[in-house]
Structure 1
Amino acid sequence: MSTFLKGALILMAAGFITRILGFVNRIVIARMIGEEGVGLFMMTFPTLMLIITITQMGLPVAISKLVAEATAVGDHSKVKRILVVSLSITLTLSLIFTPLLIVFAPMLSEYLFTDPRTIYPLLAMTPIIPIIAISSVIRGYFQGKQQMRPAAISQLLEQVVRIGLIATFVGTMVPYGIEYAAAGAMVASVIGELCSLIYMFYAFKRKKKIRIRHQFLGQLVKGKGEMKELFSVSLPTTGSQMIGRLAWFFEPIVVTKSLLIAGVTAGVATSQYGVLTGYALPLLFLPSFITVSLSTSLVPAISEAYAKKHFKTMEHRLQEALRFCLVTGGLSVVLLYVFADPLMELMYGSTKGADFIKLLAPFFLFFYYQGPLQAVLQALDLAKAALINSTIGAGVKLIVIFALASRPEFGIYGAGLGIVVGIILVTLLHFATVLKKIPMTIYVRQYVWFTLICFIVGFTTIELYENFLNPIPVLPRLFIGMVFLTILYLTLLYAARLVKKEDLKRVPFVKKFF
C-alpha cells in the first residue's frame, strides 16, 4: 500500500472514531442544555474558528508542503528553520489576538449577536487559541513527513478527554443558566485540546531528528528564506480560509437578523439556528472526516509528484480520492435521507432537524468533493485561485441567506438553502480550476450509474423499513435497515465497477477473502 493511502486510512480511522466521540459530546450537550443552549454554543463557535485561522496564518498546510519537499531532497536544516519560523509566527499572533478577543467579547455579544448571553462561551473559549497555534505547527510537521499516526492519536485523545469532562462541566453549570452551561462545554474543549497538545509535543520530542532549541534565535534569523516560502503558500491559503471563516462568522449574525426581519423573536431564532447548525449540519458533515483525511494526505503526495513532474501520478491520486469521496459520500447521503427521523429521535430525543437533513443531504455530495479539490489547488500553488473561488462562494451564500431567511415563507430553511448554494458554487469553481492544471477524464457513465444506484437503494430501503420491518421495535429496526442499505449499496456499486476488487484488497480485514 502506498504511503499516501496508508496515511489517509490512518487519518480516516481516527477521524471516524473522533467523529463518533464528537457526536456523543453533542448528544450530551443537546440533551442537557437543549436547542437554545446549542444555539448559543454554535453562534460563538465561528468566532473561535476565525481567530484560530488568523493565528495559524495558513501555516499548517504550508509546513506540510515545504517539509515534504525538503525531506524529499534530504535538507534537514531547512526543516529545522521551517519549524522555528512557524512557531515564532503562530505564538506571536496568538498572544496578540487572545487578549483582543477578551477585550471585544462584550461588544461582540451586545452589538453583533442578537443574544447577549453569548459573552460567556466567548470568554470561555479564549485559552484554546495559543494551544491550537502550537499544536498546528507540530501537526503540520508530522503531515509533511507523512507520519499520520501522531496526529490521529492526538485527535482521539482530545475527544476522550473532552467526553470525560463535558458532562461534569455542563451539569455543574446548568443550574446557573444555559449560557453558563454553554461556557462549561467550551472549557471542556479547552482542556481536551491541551491534552492533545501535550501528546503531540511528546511525540515530536520522541520522533524528531533535529533540535530546534539549539540556537533558536540564530535559526530564526537564518530562516528569512523559509519565511518567504512559507508566506508564499500560507498567505493565499489564509486568504481562502479567511473568506470562509469570515462568512461563517457573519453567518449566525445574518441568519438571526434575517429571522428577526421575518418576525421571529431572538430566543426562537437562537433555537432554530441551534437545530440547523447543532443538530442537522453535524450529521451532514460527518463524512468530511474522509475528505479531510484524503486532503491532508493529498497535499504532500501531490506536492511530491508535482516536484518530480509526474503528472500521471497526480491525476491518478486525484481520481482515486474523488472516487472514494463519491462512494463514501453517497452512502452517507442515502443513509441520512432515509433514516433522518429515527436518527434524530435516537440521538436528540426529537425529530427536529430531520427536515433539514432531507432537504440538504443530496447537495452535500458537492461538499465531500470540495476538500480534495482544495488540497490539490494548494499543492499546485493555486491558493490564489482558491481564494477567489471561496470569496465568490461566501458572498453568494450570505446574499442568498439574507434574501431567503428574511422571508416568512422560507425562514430558517432559507439559511440552509443559502449554505448549500455556497457549497455547490465553490466546489464547481475549484473543479474548473483544477481541470486547467491537471487534464482529467470525466467519467459521465460512472455518475449516471451512481445516481441510479442511490435512487434504487433509497426507494428499496424505505419500502423495507416502513412496511416489512414496521412491527419491529425502533432500534433493531433501524439497525437492520441500515445494514441492509449498506450491503445493497456496496453490492450494486461493485456490480457497476464503481468499487473494484483492487479497492477491497486494500482493506486489511477484507483482502484475505480475495
Structure 2
Amino acid sequence: MSSKLLRGTFILTLGTFISKFLGLFYVIPFYSIVGKEGTLLYQYSYVPYTIFISIATAGVPLAVSKFISKYNALEEYAVGRKLFKSGLVIMLISGFIAFLVLFFSAPLLAETIRADKGLGSADEIVTVIRAVSFALIIIPFMSLIRGFFQGHQSMGPSAVSQVVEQIVRIVFLLAGAFIVLNVLKGSMVTAVSVATFAAFIGGLGSLAVLYWYWYKRKPYLNELLFQDKGTINISLKEIYKEILIYSIPFILVGIANPVFQFVDLLTFNRAMVSIGIPRNLSEDALSILNYQTHKLVIIPVSLATAFSLTLVPSITKAFIEDDQLSLNKQLNQTFQVLMFLTLPAAVGLAILSEPIYTLFYEHDLQGSEVLQAYAPVVILFALYSVTAAILQGINEQRFTVLSLLVGILIKLSLNIPLIKLMETKGAVLATALGYGVAILINLFVIKYFSGYKYSLVFRRGLLIIIFTVLMMIAAGVMYQVATIFLSPKADLQAMIIVAICAAAGAGIYFYLSFRTKLIYILFGSRVDRMLNKLRLRA
C-alpha cells in the first residue's frame, strides 16, 4: 500500500473514528434525557431519513472520488472540475426534492412503521420524520464537495468536516432535548424533533469547514488545470451517465444497514406480538436492537468505512493502469488490517457486553444479551463495506447490487420466522445470515475478476485469530476475577471492569503483535513514528 494511500487512510480513518466515537458517547446523556421512549421515537424517524439521505446523495463521495481519480490519473483535470461545478447544482436540486418527498410522505411512512397501536401515535412519528427531513437539503451538496477532495487524494477536508458536523449536531441535539424537557417542560415529541433537526444544524457546520478548505486550496487546484492535457472532451451528459453507473451500487451499499434496520422496524413488533409478547416489551426490545446495541457495534465498523472511502480511488488507479502487483498488495494490506482491528473489537465487545451496556445505558440483562449476540456481526458489517468498495474499484459494481439484493431477500425471508423462534436474537441472526451471504458473493467476484488469491490473508488471518483467542482468554480470566470484587450492575464499577479487562486483553494482543512483527508488516514505519510521538520508545 503506497505511503500516500496509507496517509489518506489514516487521516480519514481517524476522522471517521472520532466522528463515530462522538456518535457513540452522546447516547449516554441522550438516553438519560429521553429514555427508551425517546430513543425509539428517534429511530422511527432516523432510519427512514438514513435511507433517503443515501439515495439523495447518490453515493456521491465515493462515485465522484472514483470519477475524478480516474481522470486525474489521465491528467485530464478539467473533466473533474466540470463535474464539480455542475454537480453542485444537481446535488442542491436532488437534496431539495428528497426533502419534499420525505416531508410529504411522512404520514404514509408513519402508518407503515407503526402498524398497530403502541408507543407513539402516527402524528408523533410524522412530526419527528418531518423535523429530520430538512437535513436532506444540504447533505447531498456537502457530500459532493467531500467527494471532490477525496478524488484528489485529499482526505483532510472530509475527516475534519465529519468531526465538526458531529460536534455541532451533538451539542445542538443534547442542549435542545434537555431545554425542551427540563426548562420549557415540553413534550417528548418536541424534544425528539429538536434532536432530529440537529442533523440539519450539523450539516451547516460541516459545510462551513468545507468552504474554508476550498478557499485555502483553490490556488493549488487551479494550478492543476494548467497541467491539463485537454485530449478528452466529454459532455455533461456523458459525465452523469458515468457517474450514474458508479452511483447506483454506492446507493445500495449506503442504504444496506438502514434497510436491514428498516426491515426490523416493519416486522419486529408484528412478530413479537404474534408470539404473545406485550407491545410495550416488544418496543423496548426493538429500541435495544435498533438503537442501543446498534450504536455500540457500529463503532468498529467506522474503520471499515474509512477504508472503503480511501480504497476506491487507489484501486481504480491500479486497475486503470493495469498494475496487478499494486492491486494485490493493496488488497492484501486492506483485508489484513481489517481483520487485525475488527476481530478483537468484536470479541471484546461480546465478552464485556454486560458492563459495557451498563456503562452506556443502564444495567439490563436483555440489552447485555442482545449486545453479546450482536457483537460478532461487527466483522460482517466491516467486511461487507470493504468488499463492496473493492468491487467498485475493479468496475464490477453490478455484482454489488446482486449481493445486496440477495442479502436483503434473506433478511426479509428469515426475519419473522427467526424472531418467532429466538425473539430479539432471531433478528440479529437474520441480519448476520443476510450479510454473510452477500459477503461470500463479493469475495467470489473479487477473486474471479481480479485474479486475487486469498492465501496470504488466510495465513495471516489464522495468526490474528490465534492472537484474538489468547486475548479473549486473558480478558475472560480478568473479567471473572474483577467481578468477584466489582459488580457490572453499577456504572462506576462497570467502567472499572471494562478498563481493567480491556487493558489486559489489548496488552496481550499488541504484545504478541509486536513480538511477531505482525504490526510492522501491517502498518510499517508508522508504528515507530507513533510510538515516538507517544514517547513510548527512546
Answer yes or no: same fold by TM over 0.5.
yes
CA distance in structure 1 between the partners assigned to 2:138 and 2:241 by the alignment: 25
Q: Does 2:93 match 1:81?
A: no
Aligned residue for 2:476? 462
Change (3 A) 1:309 1:259: same
Aligned residue for 2:178? 171
Question: C-alpha displacement at 1:148, in angstroms?
Answer: 0.6
Q: Does 2:157 match 1:150?
A: yes
Question: C-alpha displacement at 1:489, in angstroms?
Answer: 1.2
How does the TM-score come out when normalised to structure 2?
Answer: 0.88
Aligned residue for 1:404? 418
CA distance in structure 2 between the partners assigned to 1:232 and 1:334 by the alignment: 38
CA RMSD of aligned residues (A): 2.4
Which of 250, 261, 270 aligns to 2:274? It is 261
CA distance in structure 2 between the partners assigned to 1:164 and 1:24 by the alignment: 12
Q: Does 2:330 match 1:317?
A: yes
Aligned residue for 1:10? 11
Alignment of 1:197-208 (within 5 A): 197-208=207-218
After superposing the two structures, state which structure 1 stretch, 445-454 or 157-166, moved more. Answer: 445-454
Q: Count residues with an aligned counterpart.
A: 504
After superposing the two structures, state which structure 1 stretch, 478-487 or 317-326, moved more. Answer: 478-487
Aligned residue for 2:444? 432
1:211-266: CA deviation from partner (whole Å, max 9, x where unpaired) = 9xxxxxxxx99422212221221234335545665444333112222223223344
1:334-363: CA deviation from partner (whole Å, max 9, x where unpaired) = 221221111111111223521112113234
Alignment of 1:115-514 (within 5 A): 115=120, 116=122, 117-174=124-181, 175-208=185-218, 209-210=221-222, 222-241=235-254, 245-351=258-364, 352-405=366-419, 407=420, 409-438=421-450, 439-443=452-456, 444-467=458-481, 470-471=484-485, 473-495=493-515, 498-500=518-520, 503=523, 505-507=525-527, 508-510=529-531, 513=537
Alignment of 1:103-118 (within 5 A): 103-114=104-115, 115=120, 116=122, 117-118=124-125
SS in 1 for 2:276: coil
Q: Which AA in structure 1 matches 2:148?
A: Y
After superposing the two structures, state which structure 1 stretch, 383-392 or 351-360, moved more. Answer: 351-360
Aligned residue for 1:29? 30
Identity value in percent: 21
Change (3 A) 1:157 1:298: same
1:273-293: CA deviation from partner (whole Å, max 9, x where unpaired) = 111121112211111121111
Aligned residue for 1:214? none
Q: Which AA in structure 2 matches 1:145?
A: H
Question: Are 2:356 and 2:494, in contact at CA under 8 Å, matched by a contact in 1?
Answer: no
SS in 2 for 1:139: helix
CA distance in structure 1 between the partners assigned to 2:329 and 2:97 by the alignment: 43
Alignment of 1:17-96 (within 5 A): 17-96=18-97
SS in 1 for 2:11: helix
CA distance in structure 2 between the partners assigned to 1:141 and 1:177 by the alignment: 42
1:23-60: CA deviation from partner (whole Å, max 9, x where unpaired) = 22211211111122211212321211221122222332
After superposing the two structures, state which structure 1 stretch, 395-404 or 384-393, moved more. Answer: 395-404
Question: Are 1:243 and 1:391, in contact at CA under 8 Å, matched by a contact in 2?
Answer: no
Question: C-alpha displacement at 1:327, in angstroms?
Answer: 0.7
Question: C-alpha displacement at 1:452, in angstroms?
Answer: 3.1
1:293-334: CA deviation from partner (whole Å, max 9, x where unpaired) = 111111000011111110111111111011111011012112
SS in 1 for 2:312: helix
Q: Which AA in structure 1 matches 2:6?
A: L
Question: Are 1:284 and 1:364, in contact at CA under 8 Å, matched by a contact in 2?
Answer: yes
The runs of 5 or more residues in structure 1 that have no matched partner are 212-219
CA distance in structure 1 between the partners assigned to 2:50 and 2:357 by the alignment: 26
SS in 2 for 1:264: coil
Change (3 A) 1:496 1:227: same
Change (3 A) 1:431 1:274: same
Q: Which AA in structure 2 matches 1:66?
A: F
CA distance in structure 2 between the partners assigned to 1:298 and 1:17 by the alignment: 20
Question: Are 1:39 and 1:272, in contact at CA under 8 Å, matched by a contact in 2?
Answer: no
CA distance in structure 1 between the partners assigned to 2:375 and 2:111 by the alignment: 34
SS in 2 for 1:146: coil
Change (3 A) 1:417 1:481: same
CA distance in structure 1 between the partners assigned to 2:217 and 2:521 by the alignment: 36
Question: Are 1:59 and 1:86, in contact at CA under 8 Å, matched by a contact in 2?
Answer: no
CA distance in structure 2 between the partners assigned to 1:11 and 1:118 by the alignment: 35
After superposing the two structures, state which structure 1 stretch, 464-473 or 199-208, moved more. Answer: 464-473
